[in-house]
A and B are shown apart, each in its own frame.
Chain A
């Protein structure tokens, strides 16, 4: 095991929540209210099952295989040929996610505080920054996730300011239509994506006792934050306006006047921007790790290659409506692939374990 890639059990929590919480904070409410109207926040809670499923199944698979590294585990389950293909697919998954996050940041910044810069310039600078963060391995990413996590707490505090300013009728009736809530779930997949990183990093945790609980805690934290943000947004500006806006939460934070900097928007973007860099770094690690495992190219070179690929892919995802439509189309396939991989791997690993026990 590469020493630069080992993390502690606590750091696993920080990395997992860091990998998920990102663009979703400002865009999630818009997507879910389009389908589930004022009950969109319930769809966010229900969709929280996906990340929990991911961390649980990943843990169970590795537990049955004595926490061997990803490639070894995958080869034991799927064989060498399929592992190669799956590893490339995982790498593509993370490259796509990173591109979507980086272009999402560029789109948002050109929409709000940095109108004078081209999104393409922003994508390249951000990608270079992500490379600098990721090139030394998961240990540095995990440490930074810990620091940035404390900034996330401030993201929690901003909606608290608005909670008593909303109109309760905006979220009533609480459940409008069960079918539409279910239909809204796929729109949340992008917000929860990144959790698949647990498939790669569970073997890298030094103390594996309690890993399962820590993973679930990270998922619950993320789901709570997302639900809270979505709920407050609907409560304050109503589902109709929320569904029409690109960045409803940003609209929310920009509505209140505060001294010196007019409103919460710059403060929010400062905190959230750091969070996005970290989310992209987590995804970039996933992309690099799988790419390096699939091609056997050294980690540092893989890091540069995947960084360029993600930046180039990010260029296609400008402007925001492009990004939205492409991610909406691609995400269900990627999530489907990951769930399928996990369930199959889980069943095979269990079957192998039972067989092994029977022999013994």
Chain B
């Protein structure tokens, strides 16, 4: 067991603290003389802490300004208060804690003869500037997106919600990474019961490392094998603010440029943020188009397959002739034809994601045209199939949330297999299984299909279509489990 409490000898203290900090070349142990006679060490990690700030605000005042003796532990509080040009500092005598603070970008000062160290905030906050989101584009919304700097991200939220009810609870997660995190909510809006549920899961996560919000999401969800996202990942501050004002909570992580919003319901993954900025009718038209697109992704391919394979009698004669002519000489059975095209498109898309942005887009477009044209010319795929697959692919782009888009994209494969095996009945059971799976799911105690099931008629103003904006901006009762319990409505 390594001793952890500091002693009077500053060299011994250096050894104690060094046990908890990796001995890398950028671990700076600057020895200084205070008031020309008192030995001290200034400890920080170069790069993690802002070196020029440490020199200007900590080392310089301690070396040249201090003109009094430091004989007892209480003195250093006065010294720090009087001479350090810093916004915040604290005292600590536990070597392990001091080590952890140094590793998170702070500076420690240990003085000979004193059993307490000064810990000063000196985090280097040189991060990427606020930029426009690349994954969640918006036409009418704001242009800013989160960065990897947690403090800046929280500031953006505070700038948008200037309310004393906005609460930020800091916590650390990841035993090895010791990642700083923050739980944010609006105290007088969020339901107390919901907040307790969120806290009980979020603040008790035990994990060796925490890299991104996506990793954290998997630690706090209840049904890991369910395909649907149970929390919403976003890098847009305006979306987070909207959700906070609805009574949700957001979780931020240091070094992560997105926030995790909880709880999440199924419908909201299809509601674009622009829906609220656009004119009512236009916004609803866009939203309905989006839902049609989702249904197209899921069942257009399977229906086409079923009609070709089992129920050709359901096609009108003229349409049937068009399809027959387009399929003449195609050696592949319809199932393999569709599956091959779908997989080819997925490969192209995955390739496009990994390449630099302009190249990726070019690859997706040119690759799609070239492969589609080559496949039809080689008589491997019919024009009709290509048309159906192209519609489903384009439809996936209408889903505003990336995680949900991935999920819906994946689901078209089992639907296709069910259609191949059982025809129309396969599509029927596939759709029903989806419904049951969605209804069984909940996110932090909030039913995933709310406000549809269980029906919360007050929230129906913003589901498949949205009502007038003044009626939409109410706190949804679906997010108030304690209210439902009080009204015996659950």
Contacts and interface: CB of A to CB of B under 8 A. Distances in A.
Interface residues of A, number: 42
Interface in A1-46: 6, 8-11, 14
Nearest to B489: A8
Nearest to A129: B429
A143 B439 contact: yes
A260 B429 contact: no
A262 B316 contact: yes
Interface in B61-95: none
B487 interface: yes
A144 B439 contact: yes
A122 interface: yes
A190 interface: no
A266 B424 contact: yes
A140 B439 contact: yes
B314 A109 contact: no
A354 B451 CA distance: 44
B427 A117 contact: no
| Secondary structure class of chain A's binding surface, majority of residues | helix
Contacts of A126: 429
A137 B455 CA distance: 18
A147 interface: yes
Contacts of A266: 311, 314, 424
A114 B422 contact: yes
Contacts of B449: 143, 147
Interface string A139-183: 010111011101000000000000000000000000000000000
A143 B453 contact: yes
Interface residues of B, number: 32
A147 B314 contact: no
B314 A114 contact: no
A116 B423 contact: yes
B436 A133 contact: yes
A320 interface: no
Contacts of B453: 143-144, 146-147
Interface string A253-269: 00001011111011001
A113 interface: yes
A129 B432 contact: yes
Interface in A71-115: 109, 113-115
Interface in A114-133: 114-117, 122, 125-126, 129, 132-133
A132 B423 contact: no
B425 A109 contact: yes
B488 A265 contact: no
Interface in B185-212: none
Shortest beta-carbon contacts, A-B, top 8: A207-B488, A143-B453, A206-B488, A113-B424, A146-B453, A273-B428, A114-B425, A143-B439
